[in-house]
Amino acid sequence: MVDWLQQVLGNNWKITPAGGLTGDAYIAEKDHERLFLKRNSSPFLAVLSAEGIVPKLIWTRRMYNGDVITAQEWVKGRDLNRADMQHYQVAELLHKIHHSSELLHMLMRLGKKPVTSDDALMMIKERIASSLEIAENSDVRLALTYLDLLLPITREQKLVVCHCDLNHNNLLLTDEGNLFLIDWENAMIADPITDYGMILKWYVPRENWDDWLKEYGVTKDKNLIKRMYWYLLLDTLHYLSWHDERREPFKVIDRLKDLRELNEHMSTLV
Q: Which sequence positions are flagged as catalytic?
A: 165
Amino acid occupying residue 217? G
Say which residues have a Cβ less than 8 Å from residue 210's Cβ, sequence separation at least 6: 220
Say which residues have a Cβ less than 8 Å from residue 120's Cβ, sequence separation at least 6: 190, 234
Element counts in the chain: helices (H) and strands (E)? 11, 10
Longest dimension (CA), the chain: 63
Q: How far apart are CA 238 and CA 255, in angstroms?
A: 10
Q: How far apart are CA 241 and CA 131, in angstroms?
A: 8
Q: How far apart are CA 25 and CA 234, in angstroms?
A: 30
